Structure 1
Amino acid sequence: MSLRILFALPGLHRVGRGAEIALMSVASELAKGGDKVTLIGSGEPSEGTPYKFLHSGALPRGLFERFPKLPTLRNETAYEELTFLPGFLWQYNPSDYDITVACSYPFVQWALRRPSGGERPAHIFVTQNGDWPVHSNKSEYRFFSCDGVICINPDYYETARSLWRAALIPNGVAVDHFTPGPGDRAKFGLPEGKRLVLMVSALIASKRVDEGIRAIAQLPDVHLVCAGDGPERAAIDRLAAELLPGRFTRLTAAPADMPLLYRSCDAFLHLSLDESFGNVFVEALACGLPVVAEDWERTRWIVGDDQFLCNTRDQNALAEQIEQSLAPGEAHAEIGRERAQQFSWANVATQYRDFFEQVIAARRSSAD
């Protein structure tokens, strides 16, 4: 029997961040499998999507970077979500769905959990942006509720499983889109004949792009490419101008161009110490790039034991791992590609669907 499923997130169809890509990819697979899937986001409908898309306007978070940090409105993301709420409430009818899925908190979550005249659909919270709402009893997090939690890494799952019905389901990768092949450095304005290390990251402090610049500065013949934007852009540009003159390129790329950008570079560097999952890891692996990242259990759960992991707070160790990653050979690339196959969106969507059925069955059982 098909399910009526709603995915709600302000950035859907407007930006290509990790959470948006994850929800749209799962939604597409479920719709192709026969479920009736609807997305509500601040972008516009696209031709050829297998699901229904409803527009709800929102002001982009970049407009709120200098706004005051207040309880509930703690960052620019919360402000963006608040502006999304009026249009979302206009579009959302609880009786249209068997189950709803969201990963932002608090405003969309509260709207989905508000009392309604009829039966409220089951609700799933996905820990795309962290698991703090799942276990905290402070401030607005005291009002969190759901019928099930999808945890995108083992750490979150161990915390959530004692509090909520929970499932451990990773994010994935479009294995038919992110593939090995020739690059096109000219398209992105990248230098030929140089060894290129790629960072794909929002320009915020937690992504530690500045530490990547400092590490690359120790490798005189390496050029750093940074694909991303964010409030730290000016500071990153200044540091790169000081430490990497002529050896730094910052750009933004459309989601459709990302596989080509990966293939245009020689190694992938990601330095976040609190990444929920990191779709970029499996994207890089799928394109055949070696990965340099923090050596901790969550990273190894994603990339395996064959990548270039270290204590990235040690600048010398980090620079050494980057150097080693730049000549791993074709055999190493094949290992990464094989691992990426485990994270296909088709496999991930099947796990989502199984968990949806479990949650709905549990609700029906408790109501009897």
Structure 2
Amino acid sequence: MRLLFALPGFHRYERGAEVALLSVASELARTGDDVTVIGSGDAGPDDPYRFLHAGSIRRENFEKFPFIPPFRSETVYEEATFAAALARKYRPADFDAVLTCSYPFTNMVLRRPMAGGPKPLNIFVTQNGEWPAVSNDAEYRFFSCDGLVCTNPDYYENNKDRWNCTTIPNGISLDRFQPGPGNREKFGFPQDRKIVLMASALIATKRVMDGMRAVAPLGDTHFVVAGDGPLRDEVKALAAEILPGRFTQLTVSPNEMPELYQSADVFLHMSLLESFGNVFPEAMACGLPIVGHDTPRLRWIVGNEEFLTDTEDSVQIGQALTDALAAADNPARQVSSRVADFSWTRIAEQYRGFIGGLPKDRPSD
């Protein structure tokens, strides 16, 4: 198949959605599909796919802009600048299917009318949530797709009667994410304390500061946040107040993530609900006990053996962290057998099967 993946952050940012979709694109390209990627970064020397540059303005430049519909966040401002460049590079007739997780502007550009010939199948992936697919309010009422990839079973149940749907989780590279000795010295972590790790953007929904408050009473622990975002100043100020000498904030490349997990004792994630957190199978594959908010969706990912709790209850989250730290010291602890379900090879096969099975004759938008 001739496939196009389009997202503003491709080859420029290394966030969850970018890492996930590029991993799918790479695996499909390596196993026989003709894959093109359009993003605002630059082509790499070892890309298994064809890369096209379409520029955008970084979202950080929009953090102080007014947020009004449809420009509800700095992310949408960034996407709008990318969509203008994408429209100049995108040739619908060159592709059998196009994929994105960005709405509204990228999705709309990829669905633009074309004269003559069949339009490519438009695949939307719920990496950043299902709102475009389920909501009929404001700009969401203009959403459309030929296939919806739901990254969790909740999204599938919500959308199966309206769209051509499938459930496909994100994946991990099993040859990279596995237990190991780590390298605390490299990251500047203390050798004599337990390390509680969050890998998270510094935005309100990730509840990083709630995580800091949960870890603070555990006096023999050091709290690490790998990520950046608009709340960086607030996070730094709170750390100075409640975690003096016990806090590290850093950013690392995807290549360093396995070593980062291996350098920690427990993985903590405080979001109340995620479409799919790549960090969960990554941490699980590296052997870290996981503390997170107890939802059916998260149990679908990590199973019933991790330390899921009501993270809005200070007593329960404190106990879960204590139990997880104790489990980290257990030499008999094994990596969950569930991690095999998240190999990128399996995930790419599911994408190929879903796209190949979609009806080619369909009503136009």
TM-based fold match above 0.5: yes
Aligned to 1:112: 110
CA distance in 1, matches of 2:236, 2:334: 31
Coordinate RMSD, CA, aligned: 1.2
Question: Residue 135 in 1 paired to residue 134 in 2?
Answer: yes
Aligned to 2:61: 63
Contact 1:12-1:41 at 8 Å conserved across structures: yes
What does the per-residue CA deviation read over 1:54-96, in whole Å, with 9 as the maximum and x for residues that have no partner?
1111111111111001111110010000111222111110010
Q: How many residues align?
A: 361
Aligned to 1:363: 360
Contact 2:286-2:335 at 8 Å conserved across structures: no
CA distance in 2, matches of 1:300, 1:244: 30
Aligned to 1:224: 223
Provide the identity percentage: 54
What does the per-residue CA deviation read over 1:251-298, in whole Å, with 9 as the maximum and x for residues that have no partner?
000111111011001010001012111000000011111100011100
CA distance in 2, matches of 1:190, 1:240: 15
Q: Which letter does structure 2 place at the counterpart of 1:7? A: F
Contact 1:199-1:225 at 8 Å conserved across structures: yes
Contact 1:262-1:284 at 8 Å conserved across structures: yes
Superposed displacement of residue 240, structure 1: 1.1
Question: Residue 50 in 1 paired to residue 48 in 2?
Answer: yes
Q: Which letter does structure 2 place at the counterpart of 1:62? A: E
Question: Residue 86 in 1 paired to residue 92 in 2?
Answer: no
CA distance in 2, matches of 1:333, 1:250: 29
What does the per-residue CA deviation read over 1:318-356, in whole Å, with 9 as the maximum and x for residues that have no partner?
011111111312433322xx2212101111110000000
CA distance in 2, matches of 1:264, 1:339: 22
Partner of 1:326, secondary structure, is: helix
How is 1:124-273 mapped onto 2 (pairs within 5 angstroms)?
A: 124-273=123-272
Unaligned runs of 5+ in 2: none
What does the per-residue CA deviation read over 1:28-77, in whole Å, with 9 as the maximum and x for residues that have no partner?
11011100000000111111121111111111111111100111111001
So what's the TM-score if we normalise by structure 1? 0.96
Superposed displacement of residue 366, structure 1: 7.6
Instruction: Choose 319-328 or 342-351, whichever is displaced more.
Output: 319-328
What does the per-residue CA deviation read over 1:88-120, in whole Å, with 9 as the maximum and x for residues that have no partner?
111110010000001000001110111111331
So what's the TM-score if we normalise by structure 2? 0.97
Q: Which letter does structure 1 place at the counterpart of 2:17? A: A
Aligned to 1:331: 332
Partner of 2:353, secondary structure, is: helix
Partner of 1:123, secondary structure, is: strand
Q: Which letter does structure 2 place at the counterpart of 1:87? A: A
Partner of 1:342, secondary structure, is: helix
Aligned to 1:316: 315
Partner of 1:289, secondary structure, is: coil
Question: Residue 293 in 1 paired to residue 310 in 2?
Answer: no
CA distance in 1, matches of 2:82, 2:20: 19
